[in-house]
Structure 1
Amino acid sequence: MSSLHPWTGEMAAYALGWSDTSGTPDSGGSEGKGVRQALAVLGAEAVGADGADAVPGAVAVEFVHTFSLLHDDIMDGDALRRQRPAVWKAYGTGPAVLAGDALLAQAMTTLAETPGRHAAAAVRCFCRTLNALVSGQAQDLRFEHRPWYGPGAVGPEQYRSMAEHKTGALLGCAVALGAVLGGAPDRTVTTLERAGRHLGLAFQAVDDILGIWGDPAVTGKPVHADLRRGKKTYPMLAALAGGGRAAHELAALLDPPQPLDHEAAAHVAALVEELGGRTATRDEARRHLDTARRALRDASLTRTAAQQLDGLFTYVLDRTR
């Protein structure tokens, strides 16, 4: 990232977990889960190409993922990211926006400068994904202002549309970019992208579980953060869908005049679990993983890479952060 301004480069390195706020290399910084980079490399290997062919795609998706986290933390008011102050907390809101923009520009540059004849197709795939990401984030923010029940409430299909754009699009793009840069035919690229999108829906479902019941020491985020913001997550929607006394109690608790305090948030979380929201969300994640695996079987992939993709899918369901 030597082409970045030193200040934005410092913030980007902090966001990526490479350094602390003084620019000193930080061995304790988290570089994230590496799912998107792994998908890009495996996408190339799955179509019989060298994983090295996918490195520009892997770099680009990680940069754009980090860009999206920088901006998401500002929009959601999240003060922590990966057990450290979020970039906007460490440097300020304006600088964090600028660092995110720099990462996005760097991602586009990385792909556009990829040697060989597949760069243009890779950039087109990437641009479609960026539009989807913005759409999904817009839906997510708008959902916060919609009622929990009755006319105007968010339905399961609307939730899935949001999750597919916000989370599924980039995972689908990651594996598709690997295939594109590996020279795969369009049909194979489309199949792999579909598998990645369903993986993303499963990923988001697990994120929703962790947002309510995750261990802050592991997730790096405050407990019940999604509840306090009124996020329309799958566990909440599934819990409310059942009706009955507990569902009515939950609905009443979700429209307080003030944000939920720790005790109220814990009570809401317990009600959501009692109403089956947690179990329903795990089931939702499994359904999308099954669909993703079926899509993989529809493609002609190398055996080793297909097995590694399957193992990555299992990790998504079982992860704790």
Structure 2
Amino acid sequence: MVSGKLIKLLVYEILEFASFSIPTLVVAEQFASAFQGTKNSAEKTFYWLVLSISIAYVALVTLIVWIPVKVLFYKKHRICSKVKQWRPPLMMCIVFTTLPCFGFSVAVTEVQKNASNTSALPNTLPDFPVSVVLASLILVDIIEKLRKYPLRGRPIKNEDSHIHTTNLQQVKTVTEQVKPSEENNAVHQPAQRLPFGFGILRAISQQDKRAEIFLSSFIMWSDTTEMLRVSGHSAVFKSGWLYPVYIFSYISLLRIIVTPQQSLVSFLGVFLQDFPFMFVRISLIADLGTITPILGLLKNILVTLSYFYFNCLTTFRVFS
């Protein structure tokens, strides 16, 4: 009988490989269709040529990069135990899938610009290819976070807080050693019952780390999703603003490589997303108007300023 762990492993690997390969084929097909639409000929030689090249690229990268890395990590457990600060599957997706997809997306607009005048371009670009690329990254991110958790059983307690409470030892200060502690003289009061500790309120107030992973993964990329949605606006892809939008959107994706427990996550979130997005949105609004939401700009400004204030300025005596 096949074990549950083996089924879980196979499902995870199939989903990750689909996320690694499908976006490239989808965006390459969009590019081939756009180029074919610029030709008056009924022959689809170039269309099938692009699809064949994209399939060959996915197969080559899979055989040379994806499969060897996966086999290496499953065979060499020492290497897997040492890699704790970054996630190789997400790095492979970012480099070998997302980068070619963004290149094909930019090439689609360039092909249409060269084939006709700018006024003949559509008002908006299709959202499906961009959604497929981001959804694949989010799926791999969720799978990598879920690997250490079982999919069945009772809710799992927060392992970080458990380690924190068991490993740290209580250290008394000099004042506590000289003077008697007030806690020893105080009468211990019985613990109060929580408001949601019984009945139906207890059932609906349950928290599970596994469910929070799905929520946090989608929320984490909401700002990048909105920025890429702006790239589909006619005023953006008909002008040169398409390139900075795609470049800084790709740069913001690089922070997904580090592990969620890494202390650099907040730093990378500010300097790879909010800080550059703030200048991109200010420039877009100044040049093209409010094609990007003001709320997104406000979020970037507040996140950047609050990070600098609480992590840098509060260390000085004036702000302490």
Pairwise same-fold verdict (TM > 0.5): no
Which has the larger Rg?
A: 2
Q: Normalising by structure 2, what TM-score?
A: 0.31
